[in-house]
Chains A and B, each alone.
Chain A
Amino acid sequence: MKPYSTWKYFLLIAALAFGLLYAAPNLYGDDPSVQISLESGDPLPAEVSGKIAAALKDAGLTPSASGIENGQWVVRFSHAEDQLKAADQLKQELGRDYVVALNLASKTPEWLKAIGAKPMNLGLDLRGGVHFLLEVDIEEVRKKAVERILTEVPALLRKEDIRYTGRRENGDSAVMEFADAEHVDQASRAIAKAFAEYQVTPLPEAPLSLSIKLTEKEAKRIVDFAVQQNLTTLRNRVNQLGVAEPLVQRQGENRIVVQLPGVQDTTRVKDLLGATATLEYRAVADQDAYAAASSGVVPAGTELFYTRADRRPVLLKREVIAGGDNLVDAASTVDENGGPAVSVTLDASGAKRMFTFTEQNVGKPMAVLFKERQVVTSYNAKGEAIREHREVEEVISIASIRGVFGKRFQTTGLASKEAYDLALLLKAGALAAPVDIVEERTVGPSLGADNIRKGFSAAVLGLGLVVLFMVFYYRVFGLFAVSALLLNLLLVVAVLSLLQATLTMPGIAGIVLHMGIAVDANVLIYERIREELRGGAKPHTAIEAGYERAFLTIADANVTVLIGTVVLFALGAGPVKGFAITLAIGILSSQFTAIVGSRALAQLAFARRQLKEVPIW
């Protein structure tokens, strides 16, 4: 036999080392732990360490470890009961600026983490949890836009003294009618000048009419805005749930995926997702808010609120200048001096009231009040659910009025993080486009654990049967094939862990199926070797010919299976994606292990020996 290139042995040893290292984290298991972070996402302040230690001491708990891991404070315990107790205590003592979440923290040692080795990411069907797919009602958004055109355009025409004879809605555009061509012309120019975001076209079937709709860019922007707004709101709310690794992500044009591992109480989640938020622009009253707060006597015509950031009392006048439904857009930007600012756009009616108000109140402060209506579910002693409504009302911004403004204005004098947060909150409070839950998948923890156990036992039995059969049928060569298969499985687990691809139940099914198919490469090779031997070839020649001739067939077959998996991946619903990924990784690695791996073993065993016959049957 020709000697086998040394680099292939090295490659195999490297693959083995890689597989062992990156698959290893899955063996360590995990600790029940509590994970603490700031709701704002800022780095934790230094004093938190003392607070956490004090809280744990109060609860009489000794954690097995407590410290910062990946930017979050993680307190590990050896028992799940301690974890729950600690979480309750920490929630109470740290207050609402912190997110306290239950989690399972991997026991992977530091040196493995340092090279990026992590345990596999288990899908919701294996670890339990809820998955929601929400859809933002785009039709509603478009309808709102047409309504806006139908109020803003007539207002403009009246201001410009251009007379129109009628207005109506026509699908996703608004139609204005005029008495003669001259008016049509004037109106067309006036609208184009005042509203860059509207597209004005004459209606071919009615010559004295103008069709006005949003430009394509603007239409896309308002949909994006609606989805972004919902994303922001959902993220804020999910943070309140205290879930360790929540996922809130846009999917496609108008859908949002929410995944909350470990959460079981879907009623509570649905209530929280369905909460509504709005905001109000109001004048700040002149009276002393601190006095009102301490005495409890609120002056007539005002209401007492607190600021969100530092819980300062603020007295606001009862009248609402503009509400969330008047807010068209809010974005963080820079002012003319280059400082951070938030730019706000109001609709026509909001702009009109804002104009009247600011005209008379230059120099005075104006506040934004954020209101959220939530349904809170708690459980009484009998375990019955009690649902109650809760209003959260907080002042999120106070700024003095520098000049007279209406439709568009800026809030300046903010730090850049403040500007960003304020824009997000304003968006969240703008009248949200309605959201529907279009898909829900909840998996209880017992089913998740069952799935893992069943998947694992099926995999072990499948592997055992294949090993027995191969060794029984191909003897020593069967052992080579089995070694190659084991290396292949190790590589699949390692790559899945490294990529942090999600392992799902169909994914496990994919791995099990793959074990049956992966040995096919070796079967092809070994049958070929037997054939060559039957044809009278010398042992070493037969082995070489077997490997060489089968190579292309195996590659051809693997490519077609890969085509199937790529399509499957593109089809992409969560669990099936997991199946496609495991199968694809398996096929790619088997092309290497089944051919290079099993051949290297055959070389090591037989290359330097004289063979009278090949121990393949």
Chain B
Amino acid sequence: MKFFARVPNINFMAQRKLGLTVSAVLTIAAILLVVIRGLNFGIDFTGGVLVEVKYPAPVQLEKVRADLASAEYERAVVQYFGDSSSVLIRLPPAGKESSAQVSTHILEALHASEAGITLRRIEFVGPQVGEELFSAGGLALLFAFMGIAAYIMFRFEWKFSVGAIAALIHDALMVLGMLAIFQVEFDITTLAAILALIGYSNNETIVIFDRIRENLISERRLDILDVVNLSVNQTLLRSVITHLTTLLVLSALFFLGGATVHGFSVALIVGVIVATYSSIYVSTNLAVALGISREDLLPAKDKEIDELP
């Protein structure tokens, strides 16, 4: 089976100015969204207490709230989790009440009015641990960017490196923006998804860069823009198929994997779609705008020959 009879011949680079503009606007929009609307950070980051319980039969949230209020936990956020007999209770970091006793008290309060409750999970994260994860998470992103930038510089050239990193930042921001719009919970698993996306998205970029390098050397008559167009078209099919298989497994995870990996699969689904676009219109585009040239990528031996008068 095949999608196209021949290698497509789409003039991607004709839209390159528009592409850069759109990307810039979207990036700024995503930053504004994240800043203004904010991310729905999970307790991994904010600290606090989370208790998930399962009632023997569907339960009214009002009843749960009332039970909690009787134990003076009016501030608790109560919501269904998955179905109407599973309830998720969250409390912001407790000011004075020390440590992990909160979860014990919550359970006692709920047990007092309903005997058949089963505990599904308790998570308690001290505010300091949350703060540390913030800085560790930020550092992790930074190191991932630096590591990838260094590798591309080593394998290609600095202009490619800049393009690739711009695409990674772009993709990460798009995902964050989307998470902010839908207020998907951002926990440590979601952070893992973003780091995985960085690897994945960069994969896209590298496949195109590799092809550009190959074509720059083999198709000496074409100018840069034509080489780039040819390369993008040649790798287009492979991109479509890889995204398809990745989206297939991600949707399996989204529909069957349960709520624990919900944020994870949403972040990656958005990321995979965005990465298709950014590998063409951000990374490649920016590298072209920075002025990549045939000479940059020629093997050292060829260069010497070229430099002869």
Residues of A within 8 A of B (CB): 125, 132-133, 135, 264, 266-267, 270, 383, 385, 436-444, 446-447, 450-451, 454-455, 457-459, 461-463, 465-466, 469-470, 472-473, 475, 505-506, 508-510, 512-513, 515-517, 519-520, 523-524, 527, 530-531, 534, 549, 552-553, 556-557, 559-568, 570-571, 573, 575-576, 579-580, 583, 617
B122-170 contacts to A (CB < 8 Å): 122-126, 128-129, 133, 136-137, 139-140, 143-144, 147-148, 151-152, 155
The residue on B at minimum CB distance from A124 is: B121
Check if B199 sits within 8 Å of A565, measured CB to CB. Answer: yes
Within the complex, which residue of A266, A515, A519, A579 is in contact with B104, where a contact is CB–CB below 8 Å?
Answer: A266
The distance in angstroms between the C-alpha atoms of A437 and B103, with both chains bound, is 12
Within the complex, which residue of B126, B137, B203, B210 is in contact with A561, where a contact is CB–CB below 8 Å?
Answer: B203
| Distance between B150 CB and nearest chain A CB, rounded to angstroms | 9
The distance in angstroms between the C-alpha atoms of A579 and B190, with both chains bound, is 11
The residue on A at minimum CB distance from B53 is: A444
Check if B257 sits within 8 Å of A455, measured CB to CB. Answer: yes
27 CB < 8 A contacts A-B:
A436-B98, A437-B99, A438-B125, A440-B103, A442-B103, A446-B118, A451-B260, A465-B252, A469-B248, A512-B249, A512-B250, A512-B252, A516-B245, A516-B248, A516-B250, A520-B203, A527-B235, A527-B241, A534-B7, A556-B206, A560-B199, A561-B196, A561-B199, A563-B151, A564-B199, A567-B147, A576-B188
The residue on B at minimum CB distance from A565 is: B199
Contacts of B247 in A (CB 8 A): 516
Check if B249 sits within 8 Å of A513, measured CB to CB. Answer: yes
Check if B148 sits within 8 Å of A444, measured CB to CB. Answer: no
B86-133 contacts to A (CB < 8 Å): 98-101, 103-104, 108, 115, 118-126, 128-129, 133
Indicate whether A454 sits within 8 Å of B245 (C-beta atoms), given known contacts A437-B99, A557-B203: no
Q: Is B202 engaged at the interface, CB distance under 8 Å to the other chain?
A: yes
Check if B260 sits within 8 Å of A125, measured CB to CB. Answer: yes
The distance in angstroms between the C-alpha atoms of A475 and B2, with both chains bound, is 11
15 additional contacts, CB 8 Å, given A437-B124, A438-B128, A442-B103?
A: A266-B100, A266-B103, A266-B104, A266-B122, A454-B257, A508-B257, A510-B196, A513-B250, A517-B203, A527-B238, A556-B155, A556-B210, A560-B148, A560-B152, A576-B192
Contacts of B1 in A (CB 8 A): 472-473, 475, 617
- B interface majority secondary structure: helix
The distance in angstroms between the C-alpha atoms of A549 and B2, with both chains bound, is 21
Check if B260 sits within 8 Å of A462, measured CB to CB. Answer: no
| Distance between A582 CB and nearest chain B CB, rounded to angstroms | 11
Contacts of B206 in A (CB 8 A): 553, 556-557, 560
The distance in angstroms between the C-alpha atoms of A576 and B136, with both chains bound, is 13
Of B23-31, B261-269, B292-300, the one with at least 4 CB within 8 A of chain A: B261-269
Check if A519 sits within 8 Å of B268, measured CB to CB. Answer: no
Check if B257 sits within 8 Å of A440, measured CB to CB. Answer: no
Check if A567 sits within 8 Å of B143, measured CB to CB. Answer: yes
Within the complex, which residue of A441, A463, A575 is in contact with B189, where a contact is CB–CB below 8 Å?
Answer: A575
The residue on A at minimum CB distance from B99 is: A437
The distance in angstroms between the C-alpha atoms of A449 and B115, with both chains bound, is 22
Check if A568 sits within 8 Å of B140, measured CB to CB. Answer: yes
Contacts of B6 in A (CB 8 A): 534
Check if B101 sits within 8 Å of A447, measured CB to CB. Answer: no
Contacts of A441 in B (CB 8 A): 121-124
Q: Is B40 engaged at the interface, CB distance under 8 Å to the other chain?
A: no
Within the complex, which residue of B52, B152, B245, B258 is in contact with A470, where a contact is CB–CB below 8 Å?
Answer: B245
Q: Is B198 engaged at the interface, CB distance under 8 Å to the other chain?
A: yes
Check if B242 sits within 8 Å of A512, measured CB to CB. Answer: no
Contacts of B139 in A (CB 8 A): 571
The distance in angstroms between the C-alpha atoms of A169 and B159, with both chains bound, is 58
| Distance between A595 CB and nearest chain B CB, rounded to angstroms | 15
Contacts of B265 in A (CB 8 A): 509
Within the complex, which residue of A505, A557, A567 is in contact with B195, where a contact is CB–CB below 8 Å?
Answer: A567
Contacts of A442 in B (CB 8 A): 103, 119, 121-123
The residue on B at minimum CB distance from A457 is: B256
What are the 5 A-B residue pairs with the smallest beta carbon separation, nearest first?
Answer: A564-B199, A561-B199, A438-B126, A462-B249, A516-B246
Indicate whether A552 sits within 8 Å of B241 (C-beta atoms), given known contacts A465-B248, A563-B151: no
Q: Is B12 engaged at the interface, CB distance under 8 Å to the other chain?
A: no
The distance in angstroms between the C-alpha atoms of A469 and B120, with both chains bound, is 37
Check if B195 sits within 8 Å of A564, measured CB to CB. Answer: yes
| Distance between B290 CB and nearest chain A CB, rounded to angstroms | 20
Indicate whether A523 sits within 8 Å of B242 (C-beta atoms), given known contacts A509-B264, A568-B140: yes
The distance in angstroms between the C-alpha atoms of A579 and B261, with both chains bound, is 12
Indicate whether A270 sits within 8 Å of B258 (C-beta atoms), given known contacts A570-B140, A571-B136, A571-B137: no
The distance in angstroms between the C-alpha atoms of A186 and B131, with both chains bound, is 48
The distance in angstroms between the C-alpha atoms of A454 and B195, with both chains bound, is 23
The distance in angstroms between the C-alpha atoms of A270 and B206, with both chains bound, is 51
The residue on A at minimum CB distance from B121 is: A443
The distance in angstroms between the C-alpha atoms of A446 and B245, with both chains bound, is 32
Q: Is B59 engaged at the interface, CB distance under 8 Å to the other chain?
A: no
Within the complex, which residue of B119, B143, B152, B261 is in contact with A264, where a contact is CB–CB below 8 Å?
Answer: B119
The distance in angstroms between the C-alpha atoms of A132 and B99, with both chains bound, is 11
Q: Is B207 engaged at the interface, CB distance under 8 Å to the other chain?
A: yes
Within the complex, which residue of B122, B202, B234, B246 is in contact with A513, where a contact is CB–CB below 8 Å?
Answer: B246
- Counting chain B CB atoms within 10 Å of each CB, the highest count among A462, A505, A510, A519 belongs to A462
The residue on B at minimum CB distance from A524 is: B238
Within the complex, which residue of A125, A383, A438, A472 is in contact with B99, where a contact is CB–CB below 8 Å?
Answer: A438
Check if B207 sits within 8 Å of A458, measured CB to CB. Answer: no
Contacts of A463 in B (CB 8 A): 249
The distance in angstroms between the C-alpha atoms of A580 and B188, with both chains bound, is 12
Within the complex, which residue of A132, A473, A575 is in contact with B188, where a contact is CB–CB below 8 Å?
Answer: A575
Q: Is B270 engaged at the interface, CB distance under 8 Å to the other chain?
A: no
Q: Is B273 engaged at the interface, CB distance under 8 Å to the other chain?
A: no
Q: Is B64 engaged at the interface, CB distance under 8 Å to the other chain?
A: no
The distance in angstroms between the C-alpha atoms of A557 and B207, with both chains bound, is 7
The residue on B at minimum CB distance from A562 is: B199
| Distance between A483 CB and nearest chain B CB, rounded to angstroms | 16
The distance in angstroms between the C-alpha atoms of A465 and B250, with both chains bound, is 11
The residue on A at minimum CB distance from B140 is: A571
Indicate whether A440 sits within 8 Å of B123 (C-beta atoms), given known contacts A383-B115, A568-B192, A617-B1: yes
Q: Is B253 engaged at the interface, CB distance under 8 Å to the other chain?
A: yes
Q: Is B191 engaged at the interface, CB distance under 8 Å to the other chain?
A: yes
The distance in angstroms between the C-alpha atoms of A520 and B237, with both chains bound, is 12
Check if A513 sits within 8 Å of B268, measured CB to CB. Answer: yes
Check if B260 sits within 8 Å of A270, measured CB to CB. Answer: no
The distance in angstroms between the C-alpha atoms of A573 and B203, with both chains bound, is 25
| Distance between B96 CB and nearest chain A CB, rounded to angstroms | 13
Indicate whether A563 sits within 8 Å of B238 (C-beta atoms), given known contacts A469-B248, A509-B257, A516-B250: no
The distance in angstroms between the C-alpha atoms of A472 and B241, with both chains bound, is 12
- Counting chain A CB atoms within 10 Å of each CB, the highest count among B198, B237, B252, B265 belongs to B252
Contacts of A556 in B (CB 8 A): 155, 206, 210
Q: Is B244 engaged at the interface, CB distance under 8 Å to the other chain?
A: yes
